[in-house]
Amino acid sequence: FHGWGAPWWLAIAMLTVVVRTFLFPLTIRQVKSMRKMQDLKPAMDRLREEHKDDAQMLQQEMMKLYRERGANPLGGCLPILVQLPIFIVLFYTIKEFERLDSFRSGGLLWFQDLTVYDPLYILPVLYIATMMISQEIAMQSTAPEQKRIMRFLPLIFGIVLIRFPAGLFVYWVTSNLISIVQNLLIYRNVPKPGAVEETAGDHESRSDEHRPESGSGASESELEAEGKSGVGRAKRAGKKR
């Protein structure tokens, strides 16, 4: 992208858009896999309780459950594993570009030099904020205890990475912004954990409301017709006598 005339900061952002667009189908699969695992949690808890003294049997039953429900416990890790080598390549590319004058002045506004850390620490703050927003969207169905732990991670990452080159923060912030958009799209269309079961249960309960009670016999109209026919037969029998 830089060869087409784009400044370095924009070239990094455009590269991030291309990479995340390419990974979008994997991200959808990741969310679906996570939702399936959340749906399976009650069944998994029951298996752990039933086989708490037999680890081998527990493992076999878990694998059987995964096969029956089409779940993959490692499915949520695939997009992360794919992005890791991309980050490593980008990190060493920025290191190599430190010698280029165009890269040293390829930033924007307050971060002109992409090879050094942000002097105002605005990029790390943006990184933390965008990561928090993305996480909040993705953690709608997460357990409260896990949410409290996850909310500290962006802050920890931001502090650890605060001295990293500004060029890497351009990549991270852009990636987080894309994650926000993708999460809004995905989590609106992927059913929440237990939604299928709830829908089936609601449908069954509505069917039960319209179903005659067991042992109640025929409907009111049938009983009324039967009563009339009985009266008619009694009258005819009286006339014959």
- Neighbour tally for 97: CB within 10 Å: 18
pTM: 0.65
Each residue's pLDDT tens digit, 145-177: 777 788 888 899 889 989 888 888 988 899 999
Average pLDDT over residues 29-56: 80
According to the model, what pLDDT value does residue 213 have?
47
pLDDT bracket for residue 128 (50, 70, 90): very high
Specify burial of residue 179 (Cβ count, 10 A radius: 0-12, 13-18, 19+): buried
According to the model, what pLDDT value does residue 63 have?
86
The phi, psi pair for 108, rounded to 5°, reads -145, 140
Paired tokens of 147: 């949410």
Q: What would the 3-class secondary structure string for 27-51 be?
A: HHHHHHHHHHHHHHHHHHHHHHHHC
The phi, psi pair for 111, rounded to 5°, reads -115, 70
Long-range pairs, 173-179, Cβ under 8 A, ≥24: 173/123, 173/126, 173/127, 173/130, 174/12, 174/13, 174/16, 174/17, 175/16, 175/20, 176/127, 176/130, 176/131, 176/133, 176/134, 177/130, 178/16, 178/17, 178/20, 179/20, 179/130, 179/134
- Beta-bridge partner residues of 111: 108
Query: Is 28's pLDDT higher than 70?
Result: yes
How is residue 4 annotated by DSSP? G
Each residue's pLDDT tens digit, 182-215: 888 887 766 565 544 444 344 444 444 444 444 4
